[in-house]
Structure 1
Amino acid sequence: MTAEPRRLPSLIVATMLAIVIALSQLPAILPSSWLQPLLASPWSQYGIVSISVARDELGGWVVLLAIVAALLAWRALRARRSVVRRSVGAVAGLALLGSAVTSGLLLYTSIDQGAGFRPFAPLVPTAGGHGGPDETLTVGRADGEALRADLYRPSGDEDAPVVLYIHGGGFDGGARNPNALNRYLADRGYAVLDVDYRLARPDRPTWDLATADIGCALSWLGREGPAFGLDTERVALLGESAGGNLALNAAYRSQSGDLEPSCGSADDLPQVSAVIGGYPVVDLTGDEAQTGLGRLMGEVYIGGAPDEFPDRYAAIDPASHVAADSPPTLVYHGTRDHLVLPGPVEDFVATIREAGVTTRYTAIPATDHGAGSLLGTSTWGTGIIQAVVVQWLDAHVA
């Protein structure tokens, strides 16, 4: 057999890898505003987010795959330098350059944010084996629906500071589950309570219910927490995506005395020492409302469009509840998030800073929604999130 047929598989594999990697790098490099026309459709927006999240979850493997594509393209070019093969080589080169640049930015940010240099951790493209909860509790009932919470206990007998974790899922999905933070925080001395809240349905918007359900869990914590070894004087709220919106609203409204729990009593609400919002939904009326998935999320959660229910949209805007004495607030977010757009989140951070709130904003470069932490893989984004969360809790809660 001649060299040409033997190298044809190399060309095919190089072509597939180069195209996929190059396409995945474009959303990481181009400003989100450049893709705004594509984000207007739910289907194209979902496609962009899906390929970007897959890229982020692979972490350092993207660079290795790009190197493989470049080597295979070079091997194919050695056999014959046709236009097609030169094109494949060019795309493979661009894919390698793009993945090297974005990975370099993440590595620099990891070191800068105190997550350190972990050259091998990002190369593991499998779930990190997050441990499950130690106990599942019923913390209340709302409209006949049980609200439960998974408790992750730290080692030791002394009362532990508590992190109330609130999952994401677009307000109409998601569930309590092991993730990159729950057991990680428990291993560092923080009890974690991963809580339920009522999910929106087309026939049941929960804009006025979900935050009240977080209040229900807080009320249970203030009333029953000491019996479970939980220190109710050291409490933080941590939510991601839609859960970030609920965490911010519950923390700010609890501080202002405006949070009415769906069960228990407002008198039992503990003081919230700090709040953390990961890639949080903060504005469903502006840029978010112009994206396909943003419109769908708002219509289900709120019950209609912004021009139909302006008061409801204003009520779920955390900036409308902030005050100078609101709890210290950490926000982390991928700079190329095509689901929860960076612009509104940056505007929100500027607003609460101007209000006098102690604030930290961590931008995770070249990453989309979740910054590589959604599926439990070990990535630089995961390490950055874990590091900044622990730093914030140690500074304001421990």
Structure 2
Amino acid sequence: MTRTAIPAVLEAAPLDPALAGFLAQAASQGNPPLESLPPPLARQVYRDLAAGLGLPAPAVASAKDRVIDGPGGPLALRIYRPDAEGALPLLLFVHGGGFVIGDLETHDTVCRTLCHDVVAVVVAVDYRLAPEHPFPAAMDDVACALRWVAAHARELGADASRIALAGDSAGAQLATVAALRAAGAIVLRALGLIYPVAQHYSEPSPSMAENGGGKFLTTGAMRWFIDCYLGGRQELARHADFALLQSQTLHTLPPTWLATMGHDPLRDEGLALALRIAQAGVPTEHHHYASAIHACLHFTAVSTLGSQVMADLATWLRAQLSIDMQARHS
């Protein structure tokens, strides 16, 4: 595992043997590519996968669904509370799934784990999905959810001065855009990004070619996800609200933690984003899991790597959101 200073070249390691076995077994089943499925069926496949390959979530005090007014109509949230007293930190978590296939259920275990390990109120947002709701619907929903949690922190039993954002994959991209939009309006203490989407597939990185087949997330799936999200509008390929590497305002981000996986098509764009954020003057911590694949958060019953990613993020978030840390920032 690599931490800051952020290296220009990442360490390489063989694929984790347990994940290699899982991928080989999945390939032997001959299932159709995800991108060949209708979106509703692809979403169910993802739900089933997330439910079947993870360890049980740790206990939390409560998990309650709530609906707020969103920019496109009712917007569903799920609010998790740990077994703790007092005004707690607050984490808004944005699920992954390529802007097309994730939801509150696919990331329920992830949110429960972070709630328990960070000892924070965690709010998950069920943003609108493409292709039914293309760009900018998802980011509008996430930005709305962030404004709502900031305004209702006390109601949620949380401390409005200790708010963080986190997400994985497409959710990491959306969390970053929400943080950029909130700059100057909402004080964020931390941003946690797990294997983020940071650029359009028309600018492929070496890791996209290296890992784009047979390692769960494929080049074909990424093309489908992005085409669904952008509605086929190629003029959006370099839009700063999508292609984060084009952003000129990364300096406004809060302290950032970013994780890359060695056998992930998105590895190199994630590293490039970490470097860009650090070069913008933002305190940045980068962790590289050289033996891991994309979506390993869901495969904790297969390999310990996904659990390690969440544990490392939780440790960093606890430090960023502690009362002592908050006092030093004030």
- Tell me the CA shift for residue 345 of structure 1: 1.3
- Tell me the CA shift for residue 23 of structure 1: 11
Partner of 1:97: none
- Tell me the CA shift for residue 25 of structure 1: 6.7
- Gap runs ≥5 in structure 2: 1-16, 25-31, 37-48, 210-218, 323-330
In the alignment, structure 1 residue 333 sits paired with structure 2 residue 273: no
Q: Per-residue CA shift, 1:35-76, capped at 9, x if unaligned?
A: xxxxxxx94999xxxxxxxxxx9xxxxxxxxxxxxxxxxxxx
- Tell me the CA shift for residue 155 of structure 1: 2.0
In the alignment, structure 1 residue 394 sits paired with structure 2 residue 324: no
1:191 to 121, 140, 151: 121
2:301 to 363, 369, 377: 377
Superposition map of 1:261-280 within 5 A: 270-280=186-196
- Tell me the CA shift for residue 161 of structure 1: 0.2
Equivalent position amino acid for 1:333 in 2: T
Any conservation in 2 of the 1:283–1:317 contact (CA below 8 Å)? yes
1:315 to 232, 236, 241: 241
Equivalent position amino acid for 2:125 in 1: V
Partner of 1:364: 289
Higher helix residue share: 1
* DSSP 3-state at the match of 1:228: coil
Superposition map of 1:129-278 within 5 A: 129-130=56-57, 131=59, 133-144=62-73, 146-177=74-105, 178-188=107-117, 189-201=119-131, 204-205=133-134, 207-255=135-183, 257=184, 270-278=186-194
Equivalent position amino acid for 1:190 in 2: A
- Tell me the CA shift for residue 26 of structure 1: 12
* DSSP 3-state at the match of 2:232: coil
* DSSP 3-state at the match of 1:158: coil
- Tell me the CA shift for residue 286 of structure 1: 1.3
Q: Per-residue CA shift, 1:368-396, capped at 9, x if unaligned?
A: 1123x214526321232122112221222
| CA shift in 2, pair 1:278/1:23, >3 Å | closer
Partner of 2:11: none
Any conservation in 2 of the 1:249–1:317 contact (CA below 8 Å)? no
Equivalent position amino acid for 2:226 in 1: G
For 2:252 and 2:298, the matched residues in 1 are separated by 32
Partner of 1:354: 279
When the two structures are aligned, how many residues end up with a matched partner? 268
For 1:128 and 1:323, the matched residues in 2 are separated by 35
- Tell me the CA shift for residue 224 of structure 1: 1.9
For 1:276 and 1:384, the matched residues in 2 are separated by 14
| CA shift in 2, pair 1:378/1:135, >3 Å | farther
Any conservation in 2 of the 1:232–1:270 contact (CA below 8 Å)? no
Equivalent position amino acid for 2:273 in 1: F
For 2:115 and 2:83, the matched residues in 1 are separated by 8
Any conservation in 1 of the 2:237–2:243 contact (CA below 8 Å)? no
* DSSP 3-state at the match of 2:75: strand
Equivalent position amino acid for 2:291 in 1: A
Any conservation in 2 of the 1:332–1:361 contact (CA below 8 Å)? yes
Any conservation in 1 of the 2:100–2:229 contact (CA below 8 Å)? yes
- Tell me the CA shift for residue 293 of structure 1: 2.1
* DSSP 3-state at the match of 1:361: strand
Rg (Cα) greater in structure: 1
In the alignment, structure 1 residue 24 sits paired with structure 2 residue 20: yes
For 1:211 and 1:327, the matched residues in 2 are separated by 18
Partner of 1:287: 204
Partner of 2:46: none
TM-score (norm 2): 0.72
- Tell me the CA shift for residue 27 of structure 1: 8.6
In the alignment, structure 1 residue 324 sits paired with structure 2 residue 251: yes
Q: What is the root-mean-square deviation of aligned Cα atoms in Å?
A: 3.1
* DSSP 3-state at the match of 1:333: strand
For 2:142 and 2:126, the matched residues in 1 are separated by 8
For 1:27 and 1:136, the matched residues in 2 are separated by 34
Partner of 1:83: none
Equivalent position amino acid for 2:249 in 1: V
Any conservation in 1 of the 2:35–2:224 contact (CA below 8 Å)? no
Any conservation in 1 of the 2:100–2:228 contact (CA below 8 Å)? yes
Identity of aligned residues (%): 28
* DSSP 3-state at the match of 1:187: helix
| CA shift in 2, pair 1:378/1:193, >3 Å | farther
Superposition map of 1:57-76 within 5 A: none
- Tell me the CA shift for residue 346 of structure 1: 1.1
